[in-house]
Structure 1
Amino acid sequence: MDQYTFLYLAVLVIAIAAYLGRQRRRNDRHAADLRESIESGLAEPPSLHPSIDPLLCIGSGSCVAACPEEALGIVDGKAVLKNASACIGHGACHAACPMQAIQLVFGTEKRGVDIPNISPEFESNVPGIFIAGELGGMGLIRKATEQGRQAVEALRKRKAGAWEHDVVIVGCGPAGLSAGLSSMQHRLRYKLIEQEQTLGGTVYHYPRNKIAMTAPVQLALVGRVKFGEVQKESLLAFWSDVVAKTGVQIAFNERMESIERSGDGFLVRTSQGTYPTRSVLLAMGRRGTPRKLDIPGEESAKVVYRLTDAAQYARMAVLVVGGGDSALESAIAVAAEPGTEVTLSHRGGAFSRVKQRNRLALEAAQQAGRVRVLLDSAVRFIEPHSVGIEHDGSLHTYRNDAVIVCAGGLLPTPFLQELGIQFETKFGTS
């Protein structure tokens, strides 16, 4: 063996050893994340999520790289959902898999998820109530958009009546916005309501990273729109531009409260009014309406119910309310921004069912003086520049610029069942 061959082999062995070392460290890290998720009771995904076929998976890691929430990992050479609670079901992993080893499903063998029964025209078993998008089992943006358009095509064929509106559309994510544009195109009398202050529905709450939109979508009044991989911010900017150019009317900060049958139509009651309508199109997400504190001042614009971008809270006094992982993660993220003053208020005496990693990170932030933790506490009022929190037997007032409430959500399933809408429970099926 000459010296050049020896050097070549030595370099090759070193490269292979380095590669295997990286793979082993990645495997150990992802396996530890999976164990932590299981031990914390957070291994059950809340919504649409990937199911990986180990016989097809080659462990390429394409799905891991495509997931902005870092919900996927590689363990023993196969992809796994290592952080199920972080998965938001946008399907980037499904599109990235080179072997088609990923199927997007609802529920698991242990935990079922209720999906409403709808016809091919997206009408529920209650005539006149249509369902499109995530609530109906479709979290993929391009398909939700198409469902919104097709649902309007179907509902406009219903017999006209003496109604103020032809359709009330609930939710302004991809399905709802598409439905609003289609309603304009067909000159329907429509009302499009959105309970939050922003356009985009679930997409608005995606992390700042790429999402996959790998096929063209057809939007009424706009035409065929082709996206490859597009960042959340670019997609929201595109939709905002569509709203500005088309003039589609959206009632923000208007929450649906009830739907009542009235003759051959419905009365939709919201936080702002009552709307008689021939049809209803439900296009809201599955995460439900945020659970409110029901205290004075909560209607303030400085109150939000999810953390979207921690950087926007730099140099602000921020109150985070809640005792779950989302509350801890929000407090930790905001506390890392320069000049922040963070208070975390929790009704309970301890943080239960949270990841050990979050618990340790919060303790570190608390010891460093970046987060004030108030256990056994309750927020009593919110004012423009302060908040009132009861703890230690008395009411205390703290300086405040923003409030993030992480108290969970009220799922729409019971409400829809009261209307007579039938559901099928999915146990790990699409």
Structure 2
Amino acid sequence: MLDVLIIGAGPIGLACGIEATKHKLNYLILEKGVLVNSLYHYPDNMTFFSTSEKLEIGGVPFVSNNPKPRKHEALEYYRRVAEKFQLNINFYESVKGIAKGGDHFVVNTSKGIYKTKSLVIATGFYDLPNKLNIPGEELSKVKHYYTDPHPYYRQKVVVIGAQNSAVDAALECWRKGAEVTMIVRGPEIANRVKYWVRPDIENRIEEGSIKAHFNANVTKVEEHSLTFMKDNKEHTIPNDFVLALTGYQPGYDLLKMAGVNISNEKTMRPSYNEANMESNIRQLYLAGVVVGGMETAKWFIENSRIHADLIMNDIMQKIKGESQSNSK
């Protein structure tokens, strides 16, 4: 029987593992992919908005050669953290079922069955893209993730979206020889775009290097074209690839499987106690950006690192309380 099972080996899942180690709890971290799986799937040349010290966990310094760390530096840092604390992690093991069995949880995975007194879900939000739900979205030319600009050299690329990921992809692909068109639902580039990138994309649009259609919506994708609506008119343009970078959402299937309530139907925010991060299910905790539901821009590594302390302190208090009760 485990004291605590942690689902997700992202930065916050690792932080939970570190705190469990410090409290000498019997724990295990399950990860369906690689270490910090979401970060691994970020664009290869991505620069973080946060400075390196705000990405630190476990009191381990994050030394970067840049004012803002790059993806490869973050991967190296979190590998070193996992090694320093010898974190107990099972990789490539996905959760298939969660059931409450009296005073413990039974977790079925692709490789085994585990029993645990406490459960922490720290799965982030990057695994499930927000779909367009339009004809042609299933075509292989439509990508919901972007990693590298090289495949789009001399190609006609439409980038859908106006947040950081879309802007980075548009600029990189254009600089590597793609003909880039942006389709933006709103009237302008998003305000949350990194402050050192926003002037770059606005200048490229203004000079016509990157075409942009604002207040527009893609309605159909075909093998060699794309159709969108703007000003109540239908427009069709030649197209080779579509980068639909329209955001992502938490793994609600896992939350529902565990019995976690959704407290806000608009934001799809799950129920939890801010004081200890415990959900509506006793001893089932939520950590990291998963607590924000669809408000994925509200929580980051830097402001959710504290979740690990809150959770493990509460688990220790419950263990202490049970011990005192049993001794009477």
TM-score (norm 2): 0.52
Query: 1:174 corresponds to which residue?
Result: 35
Correspondence 1:204 to 2:41: yes
Q: Does 1:323 align with 2:162?
A: yes
Q: Answer yes or no: is the 8 Å Cα contact 2:14–2:82 preserved in 1.
A: no
| Map 1:21-420 → 2, pairs under 5 A | 122-123=4-5, 131-134=7-10, 137-138=13-14, 151=28, 171-174=32-35, 201-205=38-42, 207-208=44-45, 210-211=72-73, 212=76, 213-214=79-80, 261=99, 284-338=123-177, 340-353=178-191, 354-355=193-194, 357-412=196-251, 415=256, 417-418=260-261, 420=281
Tell me the distance in 1 between the aligned counterparts of 2:188 and 2:231: 15
TM-aligned CA deviation for residue 377 of structure 1: 0.7
Q: Does structure 2 conserve the Cα–Cα contact (< 8 Å) formed by 1:135 and 1:286?
A: no
Q: Which residue identity is paired with 1:298? A: E
Q: CA–CA distance in 1 between the matches of 2:221 and 2:93? A: 28
What letter matches 2:41 in structure 1? Answer: Y
Deviation string 1:263-292 (CA, Å, 9 cap, x unpaired) is: 996899xxxxxx9x8569978544352211
Higher relative contact order (CA 8 A, sep 6+): 2
How far apart in 1 are the matches of 2:2 and 2:151?
A: 43
Instruction: Please give the secondary structure, in 2, of the residue aligned with 1:138.
Output: helix
Q: Deviations over 1:297-333 (max 9, x none)?
A: 2222322223311233111111111122322222122
Q: Within 5 Å, which residues of 2 pair with 1:5-24?
A: none
The AA in structure 2 aligned to 1:207 is D
Indicate if the aligned counterparts of 1:135 and 1:285 stay in contact, CA closer than 8 A: no
* Aligned equivalents of 2:124, 2:133: Cα separation in 1: 22
RMSD across aligned C-alpha pairs, in angstroms? 4.5
Distance 1:215 1:349, change over 3 A: closer
* CA contact 1:171–1:201 (8 Å) conserved in 2: no
2:199 is paired with a residue of what secondary structure?
A: helix
Structure 2 unmatched runs, 5+: 20-26, 46-69, 262-279, 289-302, 309-328
SS in 2 for 1:422: strand
Provide the residue aligned with 1:423 in structure 2.
286
Contact 2:7 2:13 in 1 (8 A): no
**Contact (CA 8 Å) 2:142, 2:243: kept in 1 or not?**
yes
TM norm structure 1: 0.41
| Displacement after TM superposition at 1:343 (Å) | 0.9
Report if aligned partners of 1:266, 1:279 keep a CA contact under 8 Å in 2: yes
* Distance (whole Å) between structure 1 residues aligned to residue 203 and residue 249 of structure 2: 32
Shift of 1:373: 0.5
Gap change, CA 1:355 and 1:337, over 3 Å in 2: same
Question: Secondary structure at the residue paired with 2:173?
Answer: helix
Instruction: Quickly say closer, same or farther: Cα 1:358–1:283, change in 2 above 3 A.
Output: closer
Give the whole-Å Cα distance in 2 for the aligned partners of 1:299 and 1:266.
33
- Number of aligned pairs? 220
Whole-angstrom CA distance in 1 between matches of 2:154 and 2:17:
35
2:211 aligned counterpart, secondary structure: strand
Alignment partners' CA distance in 2, 1:216 and 1:261: 29
**Is this contact kept in 1: 2:99–2:107, CA < 8 A?**
yes
The aligned residue for residue 49 of structure 2 is: none
Q: Write the distance in 2 (CA, Å) between the matches of 1:298 and 1:292.
A: 8
